[in-house]
Amino acid sequence: VHYSINVLVNKTEALGTPHLDIPKQGLLPEEQKGFQVSLPCTGEKSEEVDVRIQINVTTEGYPNVTFLTLKRRKVCLKDQSQNGTMLMGPSPVIASTSSFYISVGCASVLIVVMTAVATTCYIRSQNARRRHTANYRRDSPRNVSSQCQTFLRVDTPNNANTVENYSSFQRLPSLSVNAPVQVNNLRASELTEKIREIDVERKRIILHEKLQEGTFGQIYHGVLIDDGNCMKQATFVKTVSEQASKDQISLLLFEGMRMYGTNHKNVLPIIAICMDNVQHPLLVYPFMNQGNLKLFLQKCRFSVEGHFHTLLTQDLVGMAIQIVQGMIYLHKKKIIHGDLATRNCVVDDRLHVKITDNALSRDLFSSDYHCLGDNENRPIKWLALESLLKKEFSVASDVWSFGVTLWELMTLGHQPYIDIDPFEMGASLQDGYRLSQPINCPDKLYELMTLCWVSAPEKRPSFSKLFVFFQDFYNDLGLYV
């Protein structure tokens, strides 16, 4: 049995680099053995520091990996840089009777925690494998919420027709293996130059009501005043609160400028930026009166019939067509989105959809992003298999994310893979599990989703071919009364 271990701290200015007295990876010992984690305070600040000890265990020849995360907290005081040591396991030295009982108690708690985590992982794994035998067609409309969360293997009876009907999509040829990688990473000097091109004075931006707010991110309904003729344009304005760090401000600027210079009816570009206060930059975008697409879909799902938009299948397909058109344009501009989802689209009351950048999405939709121990919040349940396992992004990975986005459209904003732990997503996808067909979703649309989720990137359909299919399907829907 192999293991790897890593120690993470959230405030490095107060706590220095942790030290382990065992290798960070190797084979588990055959006998019970303790290890120590040294936690040296820097003495520069007085802080409560969160410590996470992450242990990954895997058996050779088996794909399953067990993840254990042990959370501790250490208090560091200013001008006191002494080391602190945590004993993980039975201590070989007993200083006193009281410390003996403390050590035994800590060891007992650790054993209970590890046993509970291992048991939970096993139960989840077994439940996941049982789900694929469930037939979603037995669910009644009252069970729509639970049905939408089921995930199925491609080779289960539910999906047998999908596999057999792949031949009906033979006109959707696979992607070129030479799909472009992400090329829109701006260097600091380029970013500064592009910001200077659209920088405006603060007096030209008027903020109205706050539309969304997270821990450090905020989106306002605003107005941009034209400098020449005093014309006013309704806008979205993205900014940060007092709690935002320098890194979060830099990330807002970088992600907000990714689509600078784009010009397409289904892409929302940044049109202005105000840097008068560098701690509170204002990013300005054209206004869409129904706002965020994910929130719009959820309003449609929860509102009483007649009090909000009643979306027909043809409406949802029309919105999917617009997203496909926007993605075709971005790929022609050599821009890989990397985070395509309904939360990164906006819509108006005529159901016009535009793709946006992902600036502030991690904060405003925190439940959609997860960290797998690498200090990087990622949209785990929207990522293609190769993006999740190897951080490879391409046209094909955007196609996978579009499949999940299409599933969001057909479920009116449900959370995908809601029952799956983020740490289990990679193994589940490798085992062939996928989202099940939503209630009232036409078979052909679901077949198209499953094609977007083919493991081999080169075998997924291109956005151009998806556009041809959607146009034909949209026209066919118009023939029915």
Contact assessment for residue 294 and residue 343, using Cβ atoms and an 8 Å cutoff? yes
Listed in sequence order, the residues at least 6 apart from 314 whose beta carbon sits closer than 8 Å to its beta carbon are: 474, 477, 478
**Residue 342: partners with Cβ closer than 8 Å, 6 or more residues away:** 292, 293, 294, 297, 405, 408, 409, 413
Residue for token digits 């939408």?
Answer: 148
What residue type is 31 in one-letter code? E
Radius of gyration of the chain (CA): 26
Told to judge if 476 belongs to the known catalytic residues of this protein, a careful annotator would answer no
Q: Among the options 226, 339, 419, 431, which is catalytic?
A: 339
Burial (CB < 10 A; 0-12, 13-18, 19+), residue 383, is buried
Residues known to be catalytic = 339
